[in-house]
Amino acid sequence: MGKLDGKVAIVSGAASGIGRASAKLFAREGASVVATDRAQGVEETVREIHAAGGKAIALIGDTSDEGDVANWVATAISEFGGLDILYANAGVSSATEGFAPFLEQTPETWSTVLRINTIGPFLAIKHAAPAMIARGGGAIVCTASVAGIRYGAGPAHYSASKAGVMNLVSTAAQELFGTGVRVNGICPGLIETGMTKPIYDRARAKGTDDRIGQLNPLMRGGQPEEIAAAALFLVSSDASYVNGHCLVVDGGLSSSHPVAGRGKMPLATKA
């Protein structure tokens, strides 16, 4: 018996990284998965699910296009009979500017990042929730970020967009009061995905990859499968009383303000 036996799930951003890992894990736990992405790699995700004996279909589309999002929900209903789970995971760090200084960022890039990262999850919730209500309830998870908590984990437009996701989670949970639909979020720290590939590539080229994640107590970056495991918890009955919450999965990075002399305290005192 899988944790998601008999459930139908949509996972956006499923072509790679966290989305691919989550789609595969949900399918392995028994869900029928509608895997969506703008990139063709989502078809490879579905091939891997089929090879493992799972059920899934791939849809190409834009998470910030309302017509595409509505089609994802309609397809879940027509192909699998309904919708129980939504993981609104798709996101971008920046369309063109990357980590451009704040005063050099453009309204155009801000618009793109906010449209995909914040309006996208709103559209997903807007169209998924009615289908879940028709089934008597459901579970929605949105990918936010530690960058949405405070400064220091991403450029301004990305950080603002993820702070918006965090507020969207709590707001949507309240807007869906009494419907049986839970809405939660995940705030990943530094995870090795396509989005963070330049960081990892630069570190490996310089031979400093052992320093990736050095600012968190675990002293390492995370893997997509670790975020997928958190998402599985939130969409499963194990989290049946968790609602309106953003779960931080960052190795402990956001648990502290910067301090001097961290790590100097001995782990044990000799007699």
Cβ(232)–Cβ(33) below 8 Å: no
Q: Which residues contact 210 (CB under 8 A, 6 or more apart)?
A: none
Domain ranges of the chain: 8-97+119-247
Give the pTM.
0.90
114-158 pLDDT per residue, tens: 999 999 999 999 999 999 999 999 999 999 999 999 988 888 999
Say which residue, 42 or 222, is predicted with more confidence: 42
- The torsion angle over the Cα atoms of residues 244, 143, 118 and 32, rounded to 10 degrees, is -90
Q: Is pLDDT of 76 > 50?
A: yes
Q: Which pLDDT band holds residue 27 (cuts at 50, 70, 90)?
A: very high
Detail the DSSP E strand segments found in 112-264. Answer: 138-143, 181-188, 246-249
Active-site amino acid positions: 158
Let me know if domain 8-97+119-247 sits in CATH 3.40.50.720: yes
Q: How far apart are CA 138 and CA 31, in angstroms?
A: 13
